Each structure stands twice: as structure tokens, then as C-alpha cells.
């Protein structure tokens, strides 16, 4: 190794970040000195120590605090897993990493966790053909996107802002895009994902699983273990001095392939009916009344339901394979796993809502 890195991970109590920390030791990474984890509570401090991480407590939104932490600990790699929408924290880290580079001459890196949604039709990305994460024009495509949902403009701008500011500060940036992630999180915090949870919440409120986007649209999927192994493969490549592509060529989608939303809805509807959460497992198109009920269950507006659990995304993973990443689970595995996924989601939502009661659902 030409240099030894100090690494900071944010989002350690989350679904993705927690699983990343849990898999850290078994990854047998070399080429770094210290691993730090951003935490918010004393309990989290003790929990991250069990994974060999040194806890740090500060606000990523506080530019001076970020600068002090990064420079004092000579942090050279930041894996940012806590905000795909705004860029305040990422900008603070990029500026601080740039200072570390100026002071030490070391290469510095920031991985920003974005999301496949930001490369979908919901964000104005093209969907008429596969959009490869290795497309040399992807930066220009992303920068030109005009989301049909104004809410999506901010995260699109965040991706390009991270790349532009990193380039200006001599920081190597990587835009990591999770997709529909499923499977039990292995960390000490949140064990469940986002989109599959929203399908359950919407169905529970509407009394049935409804399809939202017509035309059987597809979306990329990835088991949480495979998502984690791509995080680790990018990091391993950096630590080994293999110089993975970065900046305008540094987009990495974690996906084993794609499935249709309708097939996923059907698999989850069966699991929900078996547990008496819904009485009819048929998946039918949502009308305005159904969308209103779904929106209530999701705590959002009817116009934003599609953004939460539907849409079309042709973003296609090629970059990870170039680093030697091989997903363990094929895309169709999400259908086999749907029963376990629904059980985990219901248990977690129940334990979050109450304590000590028997589950309000019952598997037949």
C-alpha cells in the first residue's frame, strides 16, 4: 500500500449503514489505519465500538465541526449514507477532505449515497432504453434532467453538486445508487428497507395492494447483502490502490437486475393476505379513492404515492462488475423472499408502534 487511510462512515444506525458495519470484519479489508463512525447517542457509541469503529459525535451540517473532525483525525475516506436529497453535509466533508489533501498530499475520497429513483422517470431520466451506470454521458444526462415531480429536482442537483465540488477540491467522488433493497438489515438499528415497507403501509391503509404506474414498469432490485458487498468492493478497490472510476465517471448502481413492480406487488399481496392484513390478494390499478387511502397510510399526498412505490427505472448496473462485484442473489429472488420480507416488516412496524402486545396480524 502506498498510503494508509482513515475512514469515516455516516448512517451507522441505518438499514444500509448498519449492515455495512456488521459485514466489515468479515470483509478483511487492509490498507487503512482507523475506522470512525458518526453516531448521535451514547447507546450508538457503544454499539459501533463492537464493530471496531471509533465513535464520533458532531453535526454534518456544521461546517466548522466537520472541518475539525476530518482534519484532526486525518480522515481521507468518507462514506456518506445519510442524505440523498440535500448536499449540505457532503459539501462540508468535501471541503474538509480537500484541506487534508492539501496538507498531506494524500488522495481523498467521498462516496455519496444517492438512489435509483434519481435515475428514473420520476426524476426526468430517460427510460426508453437501458441507462448504464457506465454511460460516459451520464453526468450530462443527469445534469439535464427535468423531473416531472418538482420534489425530485433537489436530489438530482445534489448528485451533480457533489461531483462538481469534489472535482474543484481535488476529492475523488463516487455516486452510489441503491435501488429496491430487501432482506433483513444486519446492523444494530433499523432492520427494514424503504420501498417494500411502503408497499405494506399503503396496502394496510387501502385494504388491498394496488398497482400505480401503468404498463408493467420495471425497477432494479438488490438484496441488502449484495448492496453491502458493492460498498465494500468500491472501498477495497480504493484501499488497494486500484483507482476505481470517480467523478463524472463514478456512478455505481447496486442491482442484480430488474423486476416489474406488478410482480413484486403480487408476491407481497399473497404474503399480506395470508397474515389477514388484506382480504383480497388481487392486484388492481389504483383509482383516486385508492390513491387517497394509500397516501394516508404513507403520510403523504396522493400525487406523491407513485414516487414512493412505483415508477419506471431502466438504470442498469455494469460498473460494479468491472471491480469484481458479483451479486449473490438474482433479481427474481425478491419474489421468493417476499413472505419473509412482509413478516419482518410487520413485526418491525408493530414493535415500533407498541411494546409487549401480541401482533395484530396472524398468519393462517
Q: To 10 degrees, what angle do helices 261-274 and 338-353 make?
A: 60
Question: Within a domain: residue 99?
Answer: yes
Same domain, 203 and 344: yes
Record the cell numbers describing residue 142, joined without a space: 443527469
pTM, two decimals, is: 0.95
- Residue 1 is predicted with a pLDDT of 39
Number of structural domains found in the chain: 2
User: Which of 67, 74, 68 lies closest to 101, judged by CA?
Assistant: 74
Mean pLDDT (whole number) for 232-236: 99
Residue 65 domain-assigned (yes or no): yes
Q: Residue 359: which pLDDT band, with cuts at 50, 70 and 90?
A: very low
pLDDT of residue 146 exceeding 70, the answer is yes
Domain range for 76: 5-180+222-253
Q: Is the pLDDT of residue 360 over 80?
A: no
- Are the beta carbons of 93 and 60 closer than 8 angstroms? yes
In a domain, 338, yes or no: yes
Rounded Cα–Cα distance for residues 58 and 38 (Å): 7
Q: Based on the domain organization, do 213 and 286 belong to the same domain?
A: yes
Same domain, 287 and 238: no
Q: Do 24 and 105 have their domain in common?
A: yes
pLDDT at 362 over 80: no
Residue 358 lies in a domain: no
Are 113 and 141 members of one domain?
yes
Q: What distance in Å separates the CA atoms of residue 340 and residue 271, rounded to the nearest whole number?
A: 8
> Is the model's pLDDT at 357 over the cut of 60?
no
CB 173 within 8 A of CB 162: yes
Residue 355 lies in a domain: no
**295 and 342 together in one domain:** yes
Residue 176 shares a structural domain with residue 72: yes
137 and 93, same structural domain?
A: yes
- Whether residue 252 is predicted with pLDDT greater than 90 in this model: the reply is yes
pLDDT tens, position by position, 161-206: 999 999 999 999 999 999 999 999 999 999 999 999 999 999 999 9
The last residue of a domain, from among 237, 253, 269: 253
Q: What is the pLDDT of residues 86-98, one digit of tens each?
A: 899 999 999 999 9
Report yes or no on 188 lying in a domain: no
Residues 79 and 214 in one domain: no
Q: What pLDDT does 84 receive? A: 87
155 and 170 fall within a common domain: yes
- Cα 84 to Cα 16, 52, 77, 152, distances in angstroms: 13, 26, 18, 11
Backbone angles phi, psi at 214, to 5 degrees: -70, 160
pLDDT band at 352; cut points 50, 70, 90:
confident
82 in any annotated domain: yes
Do 153 and 238 lie in one domain? The reply is yes
- In this structure, the answer to whether residues 14 and 25 fall within a common structural domain is yes
**φ and ψ at 189, to 5 degrees?**
-110, -125
Amino acid at each position: 500500500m502506498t498510503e494508509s487511510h482513515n475512514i469515516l462512515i455516516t448512517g451507522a444506525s441505518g438499514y444500509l449503514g448498519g449492515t455495512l458495519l456488521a459485514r466489515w470484519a468479515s470483509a478483511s479489508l487492509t490498507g487503512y489505519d482507523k475506522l470512525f463512525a458518526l453516531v448521535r447517542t451514547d447507546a450508538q457509541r457503544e454499539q459501533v465500538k463492537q464493530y471496531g469503529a471509533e465513535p464520533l459525535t458532531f453535526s454534518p451540517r456544521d461546517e466548522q465541526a466537520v472541518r475539525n473532525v476530518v482534519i484532526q483525525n486525518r480522515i481521507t475516506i468518507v462514506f456518506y449514507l445519510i442524505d440523498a436529497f440535500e448536499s449540505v453535509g457532503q459539501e462540508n466533508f468535501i471541503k474538509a477532505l480537500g484541506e487534508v489533501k492539501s496538507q498531506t498530499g494524500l488522495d481523498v475520497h467521498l462516496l455519496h449515497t444517492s438512489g435509483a429513483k434519481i435515475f428514473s422517470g420520476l426524476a426526468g431520466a430517460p427510460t426508453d432504453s437501458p441507462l448504464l451506470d457506465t454511460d460516459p454521458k451520464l453526468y450530462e444526462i443527469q445534469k439535464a434532467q427535468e423531473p416531472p415531480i418538482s420534489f425530485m429536482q433537489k436530489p438530482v442537483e445534489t448528485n451533480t453538486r457533489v461531483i462538481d465540488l469534489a472535482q474543484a477540491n481535488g476529492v475523488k467522488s463516487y455516486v452510489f445508487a441503491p435501488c429496491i433493497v430487501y432482506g433483513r438489515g444486519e446492523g444494530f438499528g433499523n432492520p427494514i428497507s424503504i420501498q417494500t415497507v411502503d408497499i405494506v403501509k399503503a396496502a394496510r391503509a387501502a385494504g388491498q395492494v394496488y398497482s400505480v404506474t401503468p404498463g408493467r414498469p420495471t425497477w432494479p432490485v438488490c438484496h441488502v447483502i449484495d448492496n453491502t458487498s458493492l460498498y465494500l468492493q468500491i472501498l477495497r478497490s480504493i484501499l488497494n490502490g486500484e483507482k476505481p472510476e470517480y467523478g463524472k465517471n463514478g456512478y455505481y448502481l447496486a442491482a442484480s437486475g430488474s423486476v416489474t413492480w406488478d410482480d413484486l406487488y403480487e408476491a407481497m399481496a399473497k404474503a399480506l393476505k395470508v397474515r389477514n392484513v388484506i382480504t383480497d390478494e388481487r392486484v388492481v390499478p389504483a383509482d383516486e379513492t385508492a390513491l387517497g387511502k394509500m397516501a394516508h397510510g404513507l403520510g403523504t399526498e396522493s400525487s406523491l404515492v407513485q414516487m414512493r412505490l412505483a415508477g419506471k427505472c431502466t438504470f442498469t448496473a455494469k460498473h460494479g462488475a468491472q471491480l469484481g462485484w458479483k451479486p449473490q442473489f438474482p433479481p427474481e429472488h425478491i419474489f421468493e423472499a417476499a413472505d419473509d420480507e412482509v413478516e419482518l416488516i410487520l413485526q418491525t412496524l408493530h414493535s415500533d408502534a407498541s411494546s409487549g402486545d401480541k401482533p395484530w396480524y396472524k398468519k393462517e
